[in-house]
Chain A
Amino acid sequence: MHQQIPHESAALHVTGEALYIDDLPSSPSLLIGRVVYSPYAHARIVSYDLTKAREAPGVVAVLSAKDIPGHNQMGPVVKDEPCLAAEGVTFIGQAVFLIAARTDAQCRAAEKLIDVKYVPLEAILTLEEAIAANNLLGPPRRMQRGDVEVALGSAPHVLKGELRTGAAEHWYLETQAALCVPGEGPEMTVYSSSQNPSETQKLVAEVLGVKKKDVVVEVRRIGGGFGGKETQGNHVACWSALLCRATGCPVKIRLFRDEDMIMTGKRHRFLTRYEVGFDDQGKLLGVKFELNSDAGAATDLSFAIMERAMFHCDNAYYVPAIDVTARVWRTNLPSNTAFRGFGGPQAMAAMETVIDRVARYLHKDAAEIRQANFYGLEQDNVTHYGQVVENNRLHTIFDQLMKSSEYAARRKAVQEFNAANEFWKKGLALTPVKFGISFTTSHLNQAGALVNIYSDGTVLVNHGGTEMGQGLHTKIQQIAATELGISIDRVRVNATNTSKVPNTSPTAASTGTDMNGMAVKHAVETLKDRIAECVAALFNERDPSAVHTAKGDCCFESDVIFDSRHPERRIGFAEAIPQVIVRRVSLSATGFYRTPGIGWDKTKGVGTPFRYYAFGMAVSEVLVDTLTGAMTLLRTDILHDAGDSINPGIDTGQIEGGYIQGLGWCTTEEIKWDSAGNLMTHSPDTYKIPTAKDIPIDFRVTLLEQATNPNAIYGSKTVAEPPFMLGLSTWMAIKDAISAVANHTVEPEYALPATNEVILLSIEKLRNMMKVNASEPVHA
């Protein structure tokens, strides 16, 4: 435990043996499935004729909504998402028809023979249009504490503004994929790249009109998920299943990259309006947030995502009076969905903007303002929804990181550099993250496991979580091996399978290890109890004259089971197992876990939605070319709280990866749609995720020491989502560099992502304002 051991599949990955859906050995009867999608953002389907397509060479089936045997519905929460469009389409990329043929080329040829007539309708493609048309997806929500109007009215200083944060594409390396294999009668096995196999099972059963007992969903591994396969992996599975049922053959659908980008949802765009009141020291007195998100065409998880945004608009700061109003808007774009951080990043970007503006206004270092407003240890430690911020590590992390990153000296150096250079400007920023861990939909906080021990002393662990690169299965393997006191190579973690562990929650909300790890631990404890009883009896039978071994005396360590009081009484683990079988004792056990201590009253907006908080901070330094807007990331220091990390190598990598993903969202990843609703950035040649050359030149990532977390397995703390939000340190450092152009006297225009274009335009505007107001400093 707490060891750096390689990812459980790493040896298979480096040799190319690890299998993803598209790599599974195919049967001669395998058909390739293709999705025909809507070319209109909003249109009525007037008529279509599939006759010619159905007769095309190699084609086995062409399906429309009329051919769905069960429910034409895929909405995970609200039933507002058809599996195949029936009367009309509501976004470009919406599935309308399905084709199965021997080859992909035959599918594409058949697609051209589909004759469909649409009548285009007016489409809503921006948040502004949705707001103007009052196209709300559901009622607004509000969370508040104190009287924000009074706070703003009496505050010495008040600032207000708005911030736009962009959408983002998950860009999992493995595109959405599913392979469905028919069984006897209604049976079907679905190999899916889904973060939520139980929901995939449910929706496949519903579209087929069969029962869940008839459908098995298996997930060996996912080539990256990041939330993009929490609900939207279901679609490909349902489409494959329909074609499989219609043809009686195995059917595989793997979306091509561009189609994946066109058809699937993104991170929600936000438009946030804020108003802040503060005192001369920069202490926040009251903040008002108005959050607006672009849900796209259907509900998906938009309300849960907005709820998490509402929970995280405070980020790490205590605000005595706060008022958050949230509105989720419907547009004619693909339904936006979960993406690492789940609304948290959008809300935190707004709060960090508030802090940054307060600092600029007061001519203070933003890090100082951040520190002044952190949640306190003993007081000012209750969030706006009433949860106490326990085990608060903000102050410890801040103190350590300010020192280790040499923040003060580098601030001085940056100032000197900027004074000496007209066209190059440097920027430096520290940003924190405080992130609540648990599903805010409380009932999802449960997990199950099934552990089998075989007669040769090897162990097969099943649990409800999916492996998508985050190292969940490795940590589970470590947990099972540690509990049984056996070497790790005796333990194998099975593919996630709905027939082994039923009714599971998605692997999401950063809860994978916390919950499934505990479920596995519980299953193993049951087995250990049974084994100990047999082994104690065995010891006593072998040597009846000696002292009595009770089952509680049995220790499991180093592949041996022994009596802790009489260590000479011992038996090898593998040797003991057949003895248990001879005694007719079951070596298969389930485990279950429900996260304790959480509860939350949605209507009152008060409670304890989170089991604990994760904390981290980053300091980033950038260099900006003010003539082109080009940005170089010079150095990033991260200090992150992973508790007593179960696997420091994996956790460090996840922190680095999360930060770099956040960096992408903050800088280069720009999603653009044209005026008809076509995604213009539908390929890696136009949509730029960070490459190895975009990471900090000097990249220093450290785990916080002495950080035992009392609220998760083995004192560990999840890593998962929180580091994503550390990317905001880069975004703020860039703004600091831009701001230096006007010597920090003017509030720069800013947006997220800060593309080179955004940077350059902001600098140009500052320069023009400087010319106009050459004599007087201005506060925007």
Chain B
Amino acid sequence: MMKSIVITTTINKRKHELEVHPNTTLLDLLRDELGLTGTKRGCEAGECGACTILMNGQAVNSCLVLAPQIDGQEILTIEGLADGDKLHPLQESFLDHDAVHCGFCTPGMLMSAKSLLDRNASPTELEVRTAISGNLCRCTGYQQIVDAVLETEPVKRET
């Protein structure tokens, strides 16, 4: 067994000091050790996007990040997207557009969409489709998700 490493990181705006094994993925750390099960295990190969989280604002597959890599970094998961009881405009828009079916892809989809809107407040439809093209959904046919992202109220986008 490799020696564990102590890291400090910010997860959903809370500072953590964690002792992690070097071969633990960020996905497993979030789910198994921190109980943040909103981030889903879909393929564990970086292909389906169900485990997408934001690392310093950038959407990444947490199954491809090793826990020590988040030392000193800022992590946002689906659990940190809403502001307390106040949903993020993207979350509201997903509800309004029926963009949620089985829901398993939803957290990852939202994180990819947030990463896009933070960079580009008025994306084109093609830009939205591209931004979520690494997030597989088997239920919706994507259009309702794309519409939800496109029609997220721009005024409310800053968080």
Contact = CB atoms under 8 A, between A and B. Distances in A.
Contact of A10 (B36, B103, B145): B103
B125 to A, nearest CB: 9
Contacts of A222: 102
A579 B50 CA distance: 49
A15 B103 contact: no
B77 A16 contact: yes
Contact of A7 (B50, B100, B110): B100
A661 interface: yes
A173 B44 CA distance: 12
Given A14-B87, A23-B37, A691-B133, A174 B141 contact: no
B100 A10 contact: yes
Contacts, number: 178
Interface in B128-159: 128-130, 132-146
A14 B130 contact: no
Nearest to B78: A16
Interface in B42-79: 42-45, 47-48, 50, 77-79
B22 interface: no
Given A16-B79, A693-B130, A653 B140 contact: yes
Contact of A701 (B95, B110, B143): B143
Of A9, A172, A692, chain B has the most CB atoms within 10 Å of the CB of A692
A340 to B, nearest CB: 10
A554 interface: no
A656 interface: yes
A14 B44 contact: no
Contacts of A221: 102-103
Contacts of A258: 45
Given A14-B91, A660-B142, A683-B43, A691 B104 contact: no
A607 interface: no
A690 B146 CA distance: 14
Interface in A5-20: 6-7, 9-20
Contacts of B102: 172-174, 221-224, 468-469
Interface in A63-118: none
A20 B104 contact: yes
B96 interface: yes
A16 B94 CA distance: 13
Contacts of B87: 14-15
Contacts of A685: 45, 47
A693 B129 CA distance: 6
A223 B45 contact: no
Given A224-B104, A660-B142, A16 B43 contact: no
30 contacts: A4-B98, A13-B100, A14-B110, A16-B37, A16-B38, A16-B77, A20-B104, A22-B31, A22-B41, A172-B104, A224-B102, A224-B138, A257-B43, A469-B101, A469-B103, A649-B98, A650-B101, A653-B101, A655-B141, A656-B143, A656-B144, A657-B101, A660-B140, A660-B142, A683-B45, A689-B138, A690-B142, A691-B134, A695-B143, A699-B143
